Structures are given as structure tokens and as C-alpha cells.
Amino acid sequence: MLRVAVLASGRGSNLEALLEASRQGNAGYRIVGVFSDKPQAGALDIARAAGIPAVALAATKGEDRAKHDAAFFARVRQVQPDLIVCAGYMRIISADALAHLTIPMINIHPSLLPRYPGLHTHARVLEAGDTEHGSSVHVVTAELDAGPLLAQTRIDVRHDDTPDTLAARVLTQEHRLLPACVRAIASRRLSVTGSAPLFDGVPLTAPLRLLESTGELTR
């Protein structure tokens, strides 16, 4: 079983989706710890209710980012994860921490990367007049939301959409996309440990997509 540590800053809906998927017989992974930079994050309550170790380590005002990240990831390493999943983790991780981290880490982001890294993605999509929006899972690197892309899911932008309606529809897709990526890593179909991601042993030249019929990934 792939041991997964989840980082989350908010209510934890993607954590819930990961947990639900992990309880299926063919998931191949289990969540061994949940970590947050926000002591009041709902994700911590979800973890505790499920009997999963939950740790909050908030940064103090003026604290050096690299020092905080070193302490934070020391706690993460204690649960001995094979994979770290950022599921709504909003704190930017220092390059120094990433350089010393040997555990692969993936992140889910609410846009069709490389478009719209960072915050306020739904409003930016509407401001640009885009007709398509979606979500991406990528490998975490020192550059914000710029690591190798693993998979994406897409939705049409409707003429009456608002940032809130877009966010809700994208989140529904995220709840399917993120567990599919973790399952694919657990089954070793998707590899994120080398210099470039592989799917079924072949380098990815474009993000994988989600099959509506099965909820699994395909080229």
C-alpha cells in the first residue's frame, strides 16, 4: 500500500475525496497523516474523525520560511510517506525545503496550467473571456505551479458563470481527478520519481485525462 501524507489549509473536501477513494478495495493507497499550516483547518477535523494523525504547524510572524518548512516537513517525514499530496495547501513551500525533500510531492491546482498559476483562477478565466476551464495535477517544484503536468480535467465556461459557479464545478472534477492520480501512482502506472513523469513506462508529452466512464486516467 502506498503511504500518502496530505497537506491541506482549508475545509478538506479534496481530502474527503481521497479518503473515500482509499476505502475502495483497489485503491492501493492509504492516508497516514494530514498536515496543515492552519490550526483551524477543517481538513484536520476530517482526519481526526477518521483516526488519522493530524498535525498543525502555523508559521509565526517574522519566522524564516525555510526554518518553518524544515520543521514542518520533519513532522511529515515522521509518518514515513511514499507520496505527499497537496490538497488545497495554500502556503508556498521554500526552494530550500524542496531541495532537501526526497519524497515525491504532487499538487492539485484549479486551472488549466500553465494558464493562471497562483490565486483567483476562476475570476481570471472570466476576465480573459476563456471558453474552457479546469483543474491540473502537477509535480511540485520550486517554481509556483510550474512543475511537470500529470493530468487535467476540463469544463466549458457558461455564459452566466461567476467565479463561484466555476469554482463549484471545477471542485467536483477535482474530487475525481486527484484520487485517480494517486491510484495511478499506487499502481505504478504513473511514475513521478524520475526526471520526467512516465505513464505505463512512456514519458508524458501531454497531461493525462480522466475517463468519464471509469474515473481512471488515459492518454
Q: Which residues are catalytic?
A: 109
Residues 6+ apart with CB under 8 A from 96: 66, 69, 70
Nearest to 183 by CA among 48, 43, 29: 29
CB neighbour list of residue 108: distance below 8 Å, 6 or more residues apart: 14, 85, 86, 87, 88, 135, 136, 137, 174, 177, 178
Give CA–CA dist 70/67, Å, rounded.
5
Give CA separation, 23 vs 5, 30, 46, 50, 81, in Å. Answer: 16, 8, 15, 11, 18
